[in-house]
Structure formats: structure tokens, C-alpha cells
Structure 1
Amino acid sequence: MNIKKLTAVAFLLTLVSISYSDGIANKFAISEMLAEYSYRWDTKASREFADLFTDGSILETWRGEVLVNRIEGKQNILSYAEQSHKVRLIDRQTRHHFSGLVFKTLSETAAITENMALITHQTADDQQPIIRSSGIYRISWEKKSEEWKMSKRILFIDSLEDTR
């Protein structure tokens, strides 16, 4: 091989290596943000929870083919979190147990992930946590200013009921 070919091969290998490293770094950053979702919600840190989302983000919850809940916009997500934490969840500790994170798509500025979720609640009267819900989260991510944010979070609640 001549020096030009060796240089070209070395350059291409460097680009592939950088691209691979960037992909790993992006996956790690998104994984960290997903963990923050659980911690911020479960510690009732409403404002910090809302900061995980883009300004025009959407939260949806589905049971089968039925849309159960839809919240649009970061400010409305903050209001929903504050209301939930101060009223509906005031007397209980929630835990979001996430597993099975997969990357459906990943680019430098966008990603779609799915993960399994098991959600538990525990009140002062409960001897152990009680499973309240389970399902799959599908999250669309956007990278802006070197930070990953959720642009759409869909929870598909497990259900054996026919909702049609």
C-alpha cells in the first residue's frame, strides 16, 4: 500500500472511531437523563423533573388503543408534576423501576428509546411497596446545546382489558 492509501485508511478509521465514541457518549448521556426522570419524579422535585423536557414537549399515556392522558408543553408538565406531588401522591413514596433500555434510533441530535417500567407506591400503612402500574416508555429525545431533553414521552400501560 502506498502512503496515500495508508493515510486515507487511517483517516477513515479515525472517523469511524470518533463516530462510535460519540454514539457511546450519547447513549450514556441519554441513559443518565432517563435515570434522572425516575429520581426527580420519585423525590417530588417537580421543577427539576420538568427541566428534563423541551419547551414544546408532550406527555402521553395509553392503555391499549385508548389515549388516557395528554399534556402539552413544559409549563403544563411542570403544573402536572406539582399537582401530582402536592395532592395525588402527597401520602406516598413512588418508585419508577426502569429496565431493558433499547435505542430504536440514534443520531447526533435525535433519538428514540424504549424501556420497561414497573411503578410502585408505598404509604405509611403499607408494609412493602405495591405495584401500581407497569408498561413501556417510548421517549423521543432532542439534543440542543449539548444536552439531551425529552420531546415526547409515551407510556404504554400494560393492560389485559380489551379497550376497543
Structure 2
Amino acid sequence: MSLHDKINILEVIARYSYSYDGRDADGFAHLFTEDGIFEVMYAGGHHPELRLESRAAIYEWASQRHQQVIKDIQDRHFQSGTLFDVLTWEHAQTRTMVLITHQGTDDAAPRPVLSGVYHDRWRKTRSGWQIAQRTLHHDHRRPYLSR
């Protein structure tokens, strides 16, 4: 894998934050392959709290989440520490730490709401690198979907 490929994957990771936090459900969904999977697992859990199994399902979920979010609350996904575990010309696997915060218009500072690690499988497509599967492993006791 070339340095160019690594940079492209890191850019998709950044686009994930900007598109979701910017409430761009279409841009968010198009970071995934057509058959892409997004799931959320509580650390130590055996079954996902959430599992979406297509770009269309990911789009629908993101659209609904964006409509449910209070207009005066801003989500922020801070992703860092990406490690490349598998590197080939057509596939990759990464791990990326994430801290998700909320901040309202009256809040002096952002409030942490979730932290964890994204485990990603990547596929190189005609459109470039896309997420084939993203699994969030978090260790908060409060369910992900209640945020």
C-alpha cells in the first residue's frame, strides 16, 4: 500500500466526522460501499446494539438521527490515533479512537457523551477507498441509541 492510499483512507475518516456532524446523511452514507455495514457494540457484548447492512440503510439511519437531534446541539466526532493493521492494494483494516461530544448554544464547553474505538474494514473501489464495515466498540453503560 502506498502513502497515497493511507492518506486517502485518513481523509475518508475525516470526512466521516465532517459529514455526520454537518448533518449530511448522503455524504455520510457514500463513505461506505454499497453493501457497507455499520454497527455499534458495547465492549464485552456479544450482539450489536445497532447493525445496518447497506448504504441505503446507513443513509436512512443517519437521516433519522439528524432529524431527531435538537437543532441547538452540535455533535462532534474527534477521531485520532489511526493504526493500519492490514495493508494491501485492495483491502485495509484500521483502528481509530473516537471521542464524541455534544455542545449546545448555551454550553460553555462540549460535553463528552461517548468514547471508543472504530474497527474498520476498507475496500478500494472505482470511487476510491470506502468503508466496507465500521464497528464502534464502546464501554459506556448507556446505550448508544439513547444519545
1:111 equivalent in structure 2: 92
1:51 equivalent in structure 2: 30
1:42 equivalent in structure 2: 21
Partner SS for 2:2: helix
1:134 equivalent in structure 2: 115
2:49 equivalent in structure 1: 68
2:135 equivalent in structure 1: 154
Q: Residues 44 and 119 of structure 1: is their aligned pair in 2 closer, same or farther, counting only changes over 3 Å?
A: same
Task: Identify the range of structure 1 (120-129 vs 106-115) with the bigger mean alpha-carbon deviation.
Answer: 120-129
Q: Give the gaps of 5 or more residues in structure 2.
A: 143-147
Larger-gyration structure (1/2) = 1
Partner SS for 1:120: strand
C-alpha separation in 1, matches of 2:97 and 2:81 = 6
What displacement does 1:146 show? 5.4
- Structure with greater helix percent: 1
Q: Give the gaps of 5 or more residues in structure 1.
A: 1-21
C-alpha separation in 2, matches of 1:76 and 1:158 = 25
Q: Residues 141 and 122 of structure 1: is their aligned pair in 2 closer, same or farther, counting only changes over 3 Å?
A: same
Q: 2:76 aligns with which of 65, 74, 95?
A: 95
The percentage of counterpart residues that share the same residue type is 35
What displacement does 1:92 show? 1.2
Q: TM-score, normalised by structure 2?
A: 0.89
RMSD over aligned CA atoms reads 1.6
1:17 equivalent in structure 2: none
C-alpha separation in 2, matches of 1:25 and 1:91 = 38
What displacement does 1:116 show? 0.6
2:125 equivalent in structure 1: 144
Give 1:149's aligned amino acid: Q
Give 2:86's aligned amino acid: T
The CA deviation string for residues 91-148 of structure 1, in whole angstroms up to 9 with x for no partner, is: 4101111111100001000000001111001122322110000000011100011500
Partner SS for 1:44: coil
Task: Identify the range of structure 1 (46-55 vs 59-68) with the bigger mean alpha-carbon deviation.
Answer: 59-68
Q: 2:4 aligns with which of 11, 25, 36?
A: 25
The size of the alignment, in residue pairs, is 140
Give 1:122's aligned amino acid: Q
The CA deviation string for residues 60-83 of structure 1, in whole angstroms up to 9 with x for no partner, is: 101123221111100010000000
The CA deviation string for residues 37-91 of structure 1, in whole angstroms up to 9 with x for no partner, is: 0000111111011010011111110112322111110001000000001113544
